[in-house]
Copies of this chain bind each other. A is one copy, B any other.
Amino acid sequence: MPEAPDSAGDREDLLALLAPVARLLRRVEEEAAAPSGLSMWQYAVLSVVAAAPGLNQRQVADRLDYSTNRIIADLDELERRELLRRRPGPDRRSNLLDATEAGVAVVREIRARIRRGEEQLLARLPRAERETWLAAARTLADAARAGRSAGDR
């Protein structure tokens, strides 16, 4: 199919559409995490640990496309506040991570605030469209995450 009418058309760049949305959501998450005394990244880390207990630090960082050194200060703080624990795994090099009950509770309360902020935005879409839009976004996210490590060509 040599003919693709809109491929050379001048719609907006996709990034120009998603960037403002991501920026808003970032602020939503920051403002949702702040009342619990966490940064956005601390929430993100704790959220992954709560959802998938027993991962090591590298695995958590990878899931977030975060870095293995920046995660350390976050874990230190989360551990200090007893929202999660590091425990030695079978491999004595690595720390396995678990959220405490308090940690799980904090994630739940922050997430509730995030949902409220998100709903304000998603309310712009017709109810019916909303779920399909989210499903498509999930598809694109999976593709983006897969393309991250794999070669591009």
Contact = CB atoms under 8 A, between A and B. Distances in A.
Interface of A: 7-8, 10-26, 28-29, 44, 47, 65, 111-112, 114-115, 118-119, 121-122, 124-125, 129, 132-134, 136-141, 143-145, 147-148
B15 A29 contact: yes
A59 to B, nearest CB: 16
Name A's interface SS. helix
Contact of A21 (B119, B122, B129, B144): B144
A136 B132 CA distance: 10
Contact of A148 (B15, B20, B141, B144): B20
A125 B139 contact: yes
A147 B47 CA distance: 27
